[in-house]
Amino acid sequence: MSIPSHVGIIMDGNGRWAKERGLPRREGHLAGIDSLESVLRRAEKLGIPCLTVYAFSTENWKRPGNEVKFLLQLFEETLMNRAEDLFRNNIKVKVIGRRDGLPHGLLRTIDRIEEKTAGNRDHILNIAFNYGGRAEIAHVVSRIIQDIEEGKEFRQIDENVIENYLYNPEFPEVELLIRTGGEKRLSNFLLWQSAYAELYFTEKYWPDFDGDELEKAIEDFKKRNRRFGGLKEKGGE
């Protein structure tokens, strides 16, 4: 098996990492940005074309107001102040998720970073923010219905049609899905795109995850035999 074309990451365990150190939870989220940077650098080096990270779920609104506010601010500040070193000149950034409910300032910042990185060709980084897999599928269905009402005709609604309506139709399906922090759940992340993903769970909290840990996950992935419901590895002999 070669390098996965798309790796999804559920970055979990920031709060517990901070608690174990007697620090406020926000310190865990701040440390999480450094992990993301380390992972991005290694993903480039390994030649992973596409990465999607789960930064804020549609369920995360249930957290205490001050933590929600902090996460929104941290995301915006990171996009504004750390874009140069995080994305350099080779990562095309796309934010996927529901736009409604997000502050206007943040939406403008998202638009700006997407525009600024749109010409980058080497890698894609999707940041799932205010994202839910079921919400994405509901979004696809309602957009298809809207288009039909406006006169668009489909011979049939098949998987290809659905894929064209996903938040980012450009990315390949997830081949490796990593979750840090010890839980073994998908938590509504990329449900459609992960149908055949290999799953990799690690006890490491996200702030303790880095490029070396990513490489371990990739090594584990390479040893797996992917059959996609058939008898032999896809594309194999």
Annotation says 85 is catalytic: no
If binding is defined by CB under 6 A, does position 188 make contact with ligand FPP? Answer: no
Annotation says 90 is catalytic: no
Q: Side-chain half-sphere of 214: how many Cα atoms within 13 Å? A: 28
Stretch that binds ligand FPP, among 14-22, 165-173, 191-199, 226-234 (CB under 6 A): 14-22
Stretch that binds ligand FPP, among 74-82, 102-110, 135-143, 159-167 (CB under 6 A): 74-82
Dihedral sign for Cα atoms in the order 174, 176, 182, 184? positive
| Structure tokens given for 138 | 């509901």
If binding is defined by CB under 6 A, does position 11 make contact with ligand FPP? Answer: yes
Please, which residue, 31 or 140, has the CB nearer to ligand FPP? 31
Residue from the set 7, 8, 9, 32 that interacts with ligand FPP by CB under 6 A: 32
If binding is defined by CB under 6 A, does position 78 make contact with ligand FPP? Answer: yes
Nearest to 7 by CA among 136, 126, 110: 126
Q: In whole angstroms, what is the distance from residue 40 CA to residue 91 CA?
A: 9
Residue in the block written with tokens 């930064």: 55
Q: Are 165 and 195 in contact (CB under 8 A)?
A: no
Nearest to 35 by CA among 231, 159, 178: 178
If binding is defined by CB under 6 A, does position 181 make contact with ligand FPP? Answer: yes
Binding site for ligand FPP (CB under 6 A): 11-16, 29, 32-33, 36, 53, 55, 60, 71, 74-75, 78, 127, 181
Known catalytic residues? 12, 60
